[in-house]
Every structure is written in C-alpha cells, then in structure tokens.
Amino acid sequence: MASQEEVFDSPKDWVSDHIEEYVETEGQKGYEWRNGAPTLLLTTRGRKTGKLRRTALIFGVDGERYLLVASVGGAAKHPAWYLNLVANPEVELQVRARKFKGRARTATGEEKPRLWQLMASIWPDYDNYQTKTAREIPVVIVEPV
C-alpha cells in the first residue's frame, strides 16, 4: 500500500467520525469504544475499485496477531472490508499511533472456536450477532509483516 495514495473512509457517518477522531489524535480518542472495547483502523484495497478503504473495528490480540470479527451486527452478507481482504490479504493497521502492514486470513475451523471465545469476551454481542444470521461469521487473523 502506497502511503501517498488517498484513503477513503467508511461511508457510514458514525464510522467516518470515529476514524477522523482516531486519526487526528493518534488513537488518544477513539481507541476505546463504548464499554471500553479496543478499536483499530483497518485499511484494505477495494476488490472492485482498487482504492484504499479504511474502517474502524473492535479487535483482540492473540500473541502477536490481531483478531477481527466480520460480523456487521449479524447481517446476512459479509462486510465489504472482509471481502476486500479475502481478495487482497495485504492490509494496513493503525493501533493508537502505531501504523504497520499486515497479512490477513480467515481463521480455520480448528482455530475459530478459541478465537471466537476470545473475541466474545471483548464484545459479548458477537454471540448474539451469530444467532441473527445463517452465515458463519468469520474471525480474521492479521499477522504483522
């Protein structure tokens, strides 16, 4: 990802407001979201447009790996950011002031139960979201590169 490329933030106002505050304060504001859940900024390359797309997400940590849940609140379809990283797993993360590149992948069936429990301990609504949809909500693992 070229650092001079324009980055397009989520079209959802509340998410773009969160991103703006996070970027302006290097995570001093926006890192903790609602009940203290930690958030990061994820930048993916759009699978259709090729443009850089950024969103804010709750995350967990497993060793040196970062965990994300592609829930969209239990929507019937996967979020665009997830489809983007499946098409191109090279991503960028910002955790507070730290920005770094990563490689993303979907957790395997063997990995997922433990990682799902870890993420549900951070954001218990993930369990509720899974009951709302027939799709299996993916857990994404991002390894820094």
pTM: 0.95
Phi-psi region of 27 (alpha: psi -120 to 50; beta: other; left: phi over 0): left
pLDDT at 142: 98
Give CA separation, 34 vs 23, 38, 72, 117, in Å.
18, 9, 16, 20
Give yes or no for a contact between 137 and 128, defined as CB atoms under 8 angstroms apart.
no
H/E segment holding residue 86: helix 80-87
Which is higher by pLDDT, 97 or 35? 97
Query: pLDDT category, 48, cuts 50, 70, 90?
Result: very high
Structure confidence at residue 34 (pLDDT): 86
pLDDT digits (tens, 9 = 90+) for 80-134: 999 999 999 999 999 999 999 999 999 999 999 999 999 999 999 999 999 999 9
The domains found in the chain, sorted by start residue, are 7-144 (2.30.110.10)
**pLDDT-based confidence at residue 35 (cuts at 50, 70, 90):** confident
Average pLDDT along the chain: 95
Confidence at residue 3, expressed as pLDDT on a 0 to 100 scale: 62
